[in-house]
């Protein structure tokens, strides 16, 4: 009888160890859930960025205004009927 109880007790201890610490344990499940939630947040951020880029690409493909605006701000484009004026402010020590 004592041998049977000792065997059952040992079996329960082994099963409890596997449940809490071993491979596929509760701890491992919690770590995977945390990792999954972090990855979902990264994916949501990237999807939002992709939507903004998709809108910008569509705007650049369809409208010339966006292309012109980008050329003016990034490349310094000046229209043929426009006059370029550069205003230089003096530093306070130079006055």
Mind listing the pLDDT tens digit of every residue in the chain (95 residues)? 889 889 998 988 888 877 777 777 788 889 999 999 999 999 999 999 999 999 988 888 888 887 888 888 888 888 888 888 888 888 877 65
Give the model's pLDDT for residue 16.
80
d(CA 39, CA 46): 10
Query: pTM score, two decimals?
Result: 0.52
Give the model's pLDDT for residue 26.
82
Q: Contact, 60 vs 66, CB < 8 A?
A: yes
Give the model's pLDDT for residue 51.
97
């Amino acid at each position: 009888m004592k041998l049977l109880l000792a065997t059952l007790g040992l079996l329960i201890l082994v099963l409890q160890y596997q449940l809490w610490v071993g491979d596929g344990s509760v701890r491992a499940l919690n770590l995977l859930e945390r990792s999954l939630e972090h990855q979902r947040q990264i994916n949501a951020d990237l999807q939002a960025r992709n939507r903004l880029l998709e809108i910008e690409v569509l705007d650049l493909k369809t409208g010339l205004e966006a292309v012109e605006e980008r050329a003016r701000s990034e490349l310094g484009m000046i229209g043929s009927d426009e006059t370029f004026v550069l205003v230089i402010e003096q530093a306070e020590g130079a006055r």
